[in-house]
Each structure stands twice: as structure tokens, then as C-alpha cells.
């Protein structure tokens, strides 16, 4: 009896005196290789993209969660506001650089929002370093909200000098905001130039349809179907959401309540349900809005909202099982 008590006491003592960085849970249940993909995962953002600002990640907590179970995760910075081609050139250069650093030929790209079309541009121009592209709430057939804003900008252009000056001033303010994002991220504004109007135009329906003709890989032929799962050796995946207001404490939810009014069907506040389709559609109606998909703001999604971290973990395992 005394020996049994001593053993129990010893186990309890060890549990509560483990090194602080280890944690008793990890000691009892060591991390697995659940998310350990063959190729490193490169994560890129869309509108207002950054890798991290003052230690706050664009994909909040997600890279660490994936890394804990074996994945090699590399958040990549691109211009916060710029056109698809300009951001694509930046990504292409970065993949070349990372391939040398990590001594790997290919990467799994996981891209949120406009980052998905950026990755598609690279896949069409130079697919050398891409094993897969996963679109998270990407708008592949345009954004109704972008159409409205672009129409307003054209009306300002046509309304005389005051209207044109107003449009130019707003564009300058957005470009300055993008430059501030680069500075706070510790990046050079010369390496990551800003062009908010180019980004806006690229996500109109008209420009998106033109882009899809030039870069059709993975894009559904039907209005709301799936695209080719694999093209030129690159696998294509996507998922999206259709919830707008998921947490009263998240200020962006109130913006999405307004922006959603421009959509005839379901959307995540910025991207329509069918516009999010690319390649294999994992699901297009998760209970998430556009920013919940990156686990922001600071993970403040609602009680009944889909947990984004779980989705990324499951997808890393999906890539692993596919040999990627």
C-alpha cells in the first residue's frame, strides 16, 4: 500500500514539475506526425496580406498548430494591395528562394482569399515549385462587392475633376495603408509596392472571367461545380463558408453584414459560395465568414462557428495521405 501511494505521488509530482515549455499534456500525449506533409506548406494571404505584424500572424495560430504535429509551415509575405500579376511575380521569386533554403523542389500552397488567384497565376506561368494549391475562401469568379466598388470608382471618374480627385485620394489612402502594413511587418515598401486599384479591378467579375480564360486550371466549367482535381501535376483543392455574423465582439462581422447585401446568393461576406470553388471542393458552406477563415480576429469566432484550426489540420493530413 505504501509503495502504491509513493508511485502515485511520484507520478503527480512529475506531472506538475515538468519543464514549463513542455507541458504535462504533451508529456502524456507526444505530438504525432498527423500534419507532416511530404512538401512544406507555404501560406499566403489575400487582401491586406502580411506574414505577421508585431508577432500577430495573418493566419492566427495556424502555422504553429500545424507545426506541432510535424508540418513544415512557411508564411510568406506579398504586397498588401496589388494586382494578381505583380503579387504572382513576388510569390514566384519567393518560391525559388525558399526551394534553395529548404532544399525541396515543391511546396503545398495554402492561400486565403486573393492569395489563391495569385498562386494560380504562378502555376500557369511557372509551375516548377508547386505540388498543390488549396484555395481558402478564394473568389475565382469575381466578387460582387468588388463590382460595386469598381462601378462607383468609374462613376467618380466620369463625374468631373472633383470626383476623379476623390477616387485618386481614396486609392492613395489605401496604398499608404498597405505601405504601413509592410513597415509594421518589417518588410521593405520598395520590394512590396502597393496598387489598390489594380487589386480591386482584378477581382471584378469581368476581369476574373478573363483571368480564368488565361489560367483555367482547376476552375469549374459549370456555375457551381468542381474543377479538375489535378492539372499538369498540380492538385487543386478549395473550401469556403456562408456565414456572415458569427461573433458580436468581432467588428468585421458588422462590415460583412453590409457587404453581403451585394450578393444574390450565399456568401462569406466577400466571396460568393460558388465563386469559392476550385478543383476538389471539400465543402463550400462552412459556418465561417471571410475573416474567420484565417482564425481572426484573434480567434474570436462564434460558439457554433466551424473551428478553422481543425480544418487546416485536417487538410494537412489530407495532403499527407495524397503523398504531398
Q: Which residues are catalytic?
A: 113, 268, 290
SS3 per-residue string spanning the chain: CHHHHHHHHHHHHHHHCCCCCCCHHHHHCCCCCCCCCCCCEEEECCCCCCCEECCEECCCCHHHHHHHCCCCEEEECCCCCCCHHHHHHHHHHHHHHHHHHHCCCCEEEEEECCHHHHHHHHHHHCHHHEEEEEEECCCCCCCHHHHHHHHHHHHHHHCCHHHHHHHHHHHHHHHHHHHHHHHHCCCCCCCCCCCHHHHHHHCCHHHHHHHHHHCCCCCCCCCCCCCCCEECCEEEEEEEECCCCCCCCCHHHHHHHHHHHHCCCCECCCCECHHHCCCEEEEEEECCCCCHHHCCCCCCCCCCCCCHHHHHHHHHHHHHHCCC
Amino acid at each position: 500500500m505504501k509503495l502504491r501511494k509513493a508511485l502515485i505521488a511520484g507520478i503527480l509530482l512529475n506531472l506538475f514539475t515538468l519543464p514549463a515549455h513542455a507541458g504535462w499534456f504533451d508529456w502524456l500525449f507526444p505530438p504525432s506526425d498527423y500534419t507532416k506533409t511530404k512538401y512544406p506548406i507555404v501560406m499566403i494571404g489575400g487582401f491586406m496580406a502580411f506574414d505577421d505584424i508585431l508577432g500577430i500572424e495573418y493566419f492566427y495560430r495556424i502555422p504553429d498548430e500545424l507545426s506541432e504535429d510535424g508540418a513544415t509551415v512557411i508564411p510568406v509575405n506579398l504586397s498588401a494591395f496589388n494586382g494578381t500579376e505583380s503579387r504572382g511575380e513576388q510569390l514566384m521569386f519567393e518560391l525559388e528562394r525558399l526551394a534553395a533554403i529548404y532544399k525541396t523542389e515543391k511546396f503545398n500552397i495554402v492561400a486565403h482569399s486573393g492569395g489563391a488567384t495569385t498562386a494560380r497565376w504562378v502555376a500557369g506561368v511557372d509551375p516548377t515549385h508547386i505540388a498543390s494549391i488549396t484555395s481558402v475562401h478564394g473568389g475565382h469568379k469575381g466578387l460582387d462587392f468588388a463590382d460595386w466598388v469598381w462601378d462607383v470608382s468609374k462613376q467618380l471618374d466620369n463625374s468631373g475633376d472633383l470626383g476623379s480627385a476623390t477616387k485618386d485620394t481614396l486609392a492613395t489612402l489605401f496604398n499608404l495603408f498597405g505601405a504601413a502594413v509592410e513597415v509594421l511587418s518589417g518588410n521593405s515598401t520598395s520590394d512590396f509596392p502597393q496598387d489598390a486599384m489594380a487589386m480591386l479591378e482584378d477581382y471584378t467579375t469581368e476581369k476574373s472571367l478573363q483571368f480564368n480564360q488565361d489560367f483555367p486550371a482547376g476552375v469549374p466549367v459549370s456555375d457551381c461545380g468542381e474543377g479538375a482535381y489535378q492539372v499538369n501535376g498540380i492538385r487543386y483543392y478549395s473550401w469556403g463558408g456562408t456565414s456572415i455574423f458569427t461573433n458580436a465582439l468581432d467588428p468585421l462581422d458588422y462590415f460583412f453584414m453590409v457587404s453581403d447585401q451585394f450578393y444574390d446568393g450565399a456568401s462569406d461576406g466577400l466571396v460568393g459560395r460558388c465563386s469559392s470553388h476550385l478543383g476538389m471542393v471539400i465543402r463550400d458552406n462552412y459556418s465561417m465568414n471571410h475573416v474567420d477563415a484565417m482564425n481572426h480576429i484573434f480567434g474570436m469566432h462564434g460558439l457554433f462557428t466551424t473551428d478553422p484550426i481543425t480544418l487546416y489540420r485536417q487538410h494537412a493530413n489530407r495532403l499527407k495521405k495524397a503523398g504531398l
